[in-house]
Structure 1
Amino acid sequence: MAVNLSAPSAGDLRPVPGLSIGVAEAGVRKANRKDLTVFLLEPGAAVAGVFTRNRFCAAPVQVCREHLAGGDIRALVINTGNANAGTGEEGLVRARATCAALARQLGIAPGQVLPFSTGVIMEPLPLDRIEAGLPAAIADARPDHWLRAAEGIMTTDTVAKAASATVRIAGAEVSITGISKGAGMIRPNMATMLGFLATDACIAQPLLRQLAQELADGSFNRVTVDGDTSTNDSFIVMATGKAGHAPITSLDSAEGRVLKEAMLQVSRQLAQAIVRDGEGATKFITVRVEGGRDAAECRQVGYAIAHSPLVKTAFFASDPNLGRILAAVGYAGIEDLDQAGIDLWLDDVHVAHKGGRHPAYREEDGQRVMKQAEITVRVGLGRGSAADTLWTCDLSHDYVSINADYRS
């Protein structure tokens, strides 16, 4: 039921030189589904990551942080069907054993492997099945297997999520391709449940860490489905350095700005795809908050609107019960907010002005917008010049059904 979202074709996704991807069916939770994916990087690649702020983070997140601190990452291993979260010390043992198993196959050190898991929490990771599936995943590795990887990391997703772009940097053509997964338990507060973005641009490791954070902040940190921050959120950025241009040494340079903007566009496409495929979603909603004193308070108000079950169910019902939005603005936590400065629009319809119903507003105009599959909510705070934008979806009966049946 994804909102204006269809799966890409394999031909839409550009290979990234210096990287190959393999996918296998390991039976991690269910038989006959792609559930084990490996990314294989040639020597010299730079890798950076941003991870969940959930203090109850999964074992693979903890191991990834350890291994990234050592640098020189050569491989990623991703399983679906099991989150390896809430599994204590044994979860760490199994995450590290997964890295060691892939390292043996590739002739590299275990610390050069990053592990990722997604699925059910508080169940032991089936290490034997993962180890048994690794040879097939490695044998499957090809540069053009991005779509297979997008399918291989899905859980409750209904559509594979992947995107590509190309730019020219210092006369060289640079490729950018990424995949993401997620449909529920989404308020990343860092990245998304799982996201992987690669480029063959030449960029140093320290700068890539800065770039990864800025990409997350401009895309995945602007989406929410249900307000729940996962235990496993991971966003990984890889730069293979195969494009051949002079290394980028600053994101403020002309080349740095070109690369960042292109990667940000792909990241936003992947992040918005998660919202469009939100569990049970029927509408894609842009929340734009303007006139704040700073961007942080604009986001604070935006998330209050985007997380409100009353607002989200009103959108599902196409019911212009828009006082719910004003109420969310009011409880967002801005203590000195003056309601007399508040304006509210639905697309082009001016609903509220100076804290009250706009004289020209008619409910039939509000309902016309509410029936659309894509809607923009715009709020003016009347406090300054800052603005920010979030993306969310409605809340339907199917969301409850999907999550009630998740483990069956």
Structure 2
Amino acid sequence: MAVHLHAPDPASLLPIAGVRIGFAEAGVRKANRKDVTVFLLDEGVAVAGVFTQNRFCAAPVQVCRESLARVAEGGEGIRALVVNTGNANAGTGADGLQRARDTAASLAALVGVAPGQVLPFSTGVIMEQLPVDRITAALPQALSAARADNWAVAAEAIMTTDTVPKAFSRSVQIGGATVSITGISKGAGMIRPNMATMLGFLATDARVAPGLLPALALELAEGSFNRVTIDGDTSTNDSFVVMASQKADHAEIATWDSEEGRVLKAALLDVARTLAQAIVRDGEGATKFITVRVEGGKTAAECRQVAYAIAHSPLVKTAFFASDPNLGRILAAVGYAGIADLDQTGIDLFLDDVHVAVQGGRNPAYREEEGQRVMKQDEITVRVVLGRGDAVDTVWTCDFSHEYVTINADYRS
């Protein structure tokens, strides 16, 4: 039921020199499905990550944070990632933490690196023990399958309730050299990342000073995955990893203020944003892709606050599913967004090209059949003008259908 989203053509996905990907069927939760993925990184690949702000974070998130902190303090670099689907290893206490470490250690032993050089990731059901024995038994199979052109398979292997694998590539010219960027993501529900995506992996062969990557990961997340929501729930396992393999034939980018830095960052953001929007397009039960743009705020933060109030409203989302132009629900959401000094007489509301409300009241020229026309589309833009300043921000979301309830009611069965 994904909205204008199709499985990627494997041939369109660019291999990234210095990064190989393998996969295996471990039976983590279900038999006969790819559910373990490994990324093998050449020495010198720079890695940074951004993780969930949910205080009830999963065990692998805790291990990743510890390992990346050691790298930041001068420790040995990250050489591998191991990802499982079907089990989140969240809400599992000290035992779950040990299982995440054991998974990383098992892969580390097979590839000949220290356990702290392997980052573990999990996604799936919360409060169930991670079957480490099944995962470790499958690792040799994943290693034997490792290739640079396995991005499409990896996008499939990290899925949970997704209906479509999510992967995208692009290339840019930097310093006379062709630079490749490829990323994958997964997510369809429990989506309101307070930092990044559910799981996202973005790699480039660009030569980037390693110290630039942590801030870059944050900025990319802010401009993409932190602008999407499906249901307002922040996952326990959200993780977004950025990798730069340093293999491209151009001078190292030492600052984002250079022309080369700006070109690379814009291209990375384009890929990250495409992956983030793909998650919304594949939202559980989604039939419509909705852009919520709020203009005229005092700050971008308050624009985002209003946009999320609209995007999270079950009444707004169900109205979109029914193609019902009950658009007073949008104004109500603007009003309860929490902007204390908001003047309702300064607010205008647009639905695509239709001017619905003027200065806080129904536009005399608005006709409901015009609203109905837009509501029947499968891609819709809601534009709210607050009349308070010049700031703008945008959030992407989807509607709520009967299928969303069905999927989440039956998720464990």
Same fold (TM over 0.5): yes
Aligned to 1:18: 18
Aligned to 1:141: 146
Amino acid at match of 1:23: F
Amino acid at match of 1:275: V
Aligned to 2:223: 218
Deviations 1:316-374 (A, max 9, x none): 00000000000000000000000000000000000000000011100000000000000
- Alignment identity in percent? 77
Aligned to 2:316: 311
Gaps of 5+ in 1: none
Deviations 1:282-312 (A, max 9, x none): 0000000000001000000000000000000
Aligned to 1:89: 94
Residue 211 of structure 1 contacts residue 251 of structure 1 at CA under 8 Å; is this kept in 2?
no
For residues 363-378 of structure 1, the aligned pairs below 5 Å read: 363-378=368-383
Choose which of 332, 346, 350 in structure 1 pairs with 2:351: 346
After superposing the two structures, state which structure 1 stretch, 240-249 or 301-310, moved more.
Answer: 240-249
Amino acid at match of 1:3: V
For residues 43-192 of structure 1, the aligned pairs below 5 Å read: 43-71=43-71, 72-192=77-197
Note the C-alpha offset of 1:206.
1.5
Residue 345 of structure 1 contacts residue 377 of structure 1 at CA under 8 Å; is this kept in 2?
yes
Paired with 1:28 and 1:220, the residues of 2 have a C-alpha distance of 27
Paired with 1:395 and 1:5, the residues of 2 have a C-alpha distance of 18
Amino acid at match of 1:12: S
CA RMSD of aligned residues (A): 0.4
Paired with 2:232 and 2:190, the residues of 1 have a C-alpha distance of 7
Aligned to 2:384: 379
Paired with 1:399 and 1:204, the residues of 2 have a C-alpha distance of 43
Q: Does 1:391 align with 2:413?
A: no
Note the C-alpha offset of 1:65.
0.3
Paired with 2:209 and 2:137, the residues of 1 have a C-alpha distance of 35
Aligned to 1:193: 198
Note the C-alpha offset of 1:279.
0.2
Gaps of 5+ in 2: 72-76
Q: For 1:321, what is the secondary structure of its paired residue?
A: coil
Paired with 2:67 and 2:375, the residues of 1 have a C-alpha distance of 47
Paired with 1:301 and 1:227, the residues of 2 have a C-alpha distance of 14
Deviations 1:202-235 (A, max 9, x none): 1122201111110000000000000000000000
Q: For 1:210, what is the secondary structure of its paired residue?
A: helix
Paired with 1:297 and 1:253, the residues of 2 have a C-alpha distance of 31
Aligned to 1:260: 265
Q: For 2:229, what is the secondary structure of its paired residue?
A: coil
Note the C-alpha offset of 1:58.
0.1
Paired with 1:199 and 1:233, the residues of 2 have a C-alpha distance of 21
Deviations 1:230-251 (A, max 9, x none): 0000000000000021111111
Paired with 2:61 and 2:86, the residues of 1 have a C-alpha distance of 16
Choose which of 328, 332, 346 in structure 2 pairs with 1:327: 332
